[in-house]
Structure 1
């Protein structure tokens, strides 16, 4: 089960672009909370320093967040975040209310373990590719993991780890796998990097030899 992380919020009474600019100048971030059946969207504000600090953490983007409004706590997921194009400033946030009894779909990050100590990691000239770094999972909120570990301890040259081989926590599924075998994509692959270089060198040598042969034939034709 993922941890929850609490953020203090306050109601936002004034709306519109002018009100949002004033909030930002005062060090706050305008936001909205929506979803949750028939509940109306609610405009809120958060301290920018708190949001910016939270945004530096991986969990902010995939974990369940507790929005605390004076003791009234609502569980939400971050659904959108607008950043300033060049300033270190968060401009707006969208949060989705969750129902603890309804399945949710969330993209969670992958954590790759033991890569350096694996047979492929210790072999010279091997390139280990992380084909994907996050995956969409479906589960109840109580089962949502903040990340999924991918143990590469046994990874060898030419090995490929597919989506279906991930070790998922109890109650967690990958919806994409239900769409067919073609969706069981590679997550990690280990290949000998110098094969491509050697192949290119071999082609270059073959081309050079062919060019040299052509020159000899041209020289022979001239003698005739």
Structure 2
């Protein structure tokens, strides 16, 4: 199951653009925790903690315990990060509270098993991944690290769908159909185009014969 990651935070008292700029001048990233029918909680984060999570990848499927200094520890999902258009530094982070007893909407990456023994790939086919992440509704305590699809029997032309996921861990897809996750596409054939023939050089006049005179 997905791990819960702890992030230290400091409380902020004031909202608004001016207060957010003041937080950034202090070297921190302003953030807000909202949802679960409670008032929003304003916090400030160490930018190194934010960048560490973003570099990991898959942060939209992780659970975060935001520990507010001198306050509560809130179980959340990181929903959005705003970046500076020039420096790409994080400017603001949105967290959503995870209410007890409710399902959460998360994105879970897909892992493909037995690529080395896949008949379609061994015959020259290409694994065409349509969806690298699957968006599902899940119990907060049962969010999988990844969904697995086995390619051991996949041949050229096969479509691997949601129904091919080995274990769904009690999750439910937000798409109400058996959608395509990947296909085994036929090999790409590159046709060689023949270069155009060079025009033949004019024949040289035979020895001993003068070239025909040009008409005046």
Specify if TM > 0.5.
yes
Would the alpha carbon gap of residues 117 and 28 (structure 1) be closer, same or farther in structure 2, given more than 3 Å must change?
farther
The residue aligned with 1:25 is 25
- Matched residue count: 193
TM-score when scaled to structure 1? 0.77
The residue aligned with 1:51 is 50
Give the CA deviation at 1:153: 3.0
3-state secondary structure, aligned to 2:24: helix
The residue aligned with 1:122 is 122
3-state secondary structure, aligned to 1:189: strand
Q: Residues 161-200 of structure 1 correspond to what in structure 2 (within 5 A)?
A: 161-177=160-176, 183-194=177-188, 197=190
Partner Cα distance (1:138, 1:22) in 2: 37
Deviations 1:30-63 (A, max 9, x none): 01101112x1011111000111111111242211
Q: Is the 8 A contact 2:111 2:147 kept in 1?
A: yes
TM-score when scaled to structure 2? 0.80
3-state secondary structure, aligned to 1:56: helix
Q: Is the 8 A contact 2:58 2:109 kept in 1?
A: no
Q: Is the 8 A contact 1:157 1:190 kept in 2?
A: yes
Give the root-mean-square deviation of aligned CA atoms.
2.2
The structure with more helix, counted as a fraction of residues: 1
The residue aligned with 2:74 is 74
Q: Is the 8 A contact 1:100 1:142 kept in 2?
A: no
Give the CA deviation at 1:117: 3.7
